[in-house]
């Protein structure tokens, strides 16, 4: 961010938007995104009590449970490599 004045304005605007969204739906504390920059930037808003999660991770947790990563590693170890 070569322009601190612009990046500060963007951060302030995002924080204000999050505060407004939390007022409307205080029970929702997780934001889903597939944008790496948004994951990083919105992840800095932890002081608002918001958890930022990648969409793929949320889908994996919903379908495979919280141990989905361990299961994925186990499956990858026994996977067969197929080349064409």
Q: How far apart are CA 62 and CA 80, in angstroms?
A: 26
Q: How far apart are CA 31 and CA 66, in angstroms?
A: 17
For the chain, what are the domain ranges?
A: 4-78
Give me the mean pLDDT over the 52-79 stretch. Answer: 91
Looking at the predicted structure, is the pLDDT value of residue 35 above 60?
yes
Query: What is the token pair recorded at 27?
Result: 């029970």
pLDDT tens digits for range 69-83: 999 999 999 999 899
Q: Is 1 helix (H, G, I), strand (E, B) or coil?
A: coil
Closest by CA position to 52, among listed 26, 68, 33: 33
Query: Of the given ranges (10-14, 26-30, 61-65, 70-74), which has the lowest mean pLDDT?
Result: 26-30
pLDDT of residue 74: 92
pTM: 0.66
């Amino acid at each position: 961010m070569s322009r601190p004045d612009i990046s500060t304005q963007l951060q302030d605007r995002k924080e204000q938007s999050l505060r407004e969204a939390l007022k409307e739906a205080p029970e929702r504390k997780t934001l889903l995104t597939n944008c790496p920059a948004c994951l990083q930037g919105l992840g800095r808003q932890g002081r608002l009590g918001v958890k930022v999660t990648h969409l793929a991770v949320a889908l994996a947790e919903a379908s495979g449970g919280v141990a989905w990563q361990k299961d994925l590693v186990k499956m990858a170890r026994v996977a067969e490599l197929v080349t064409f």
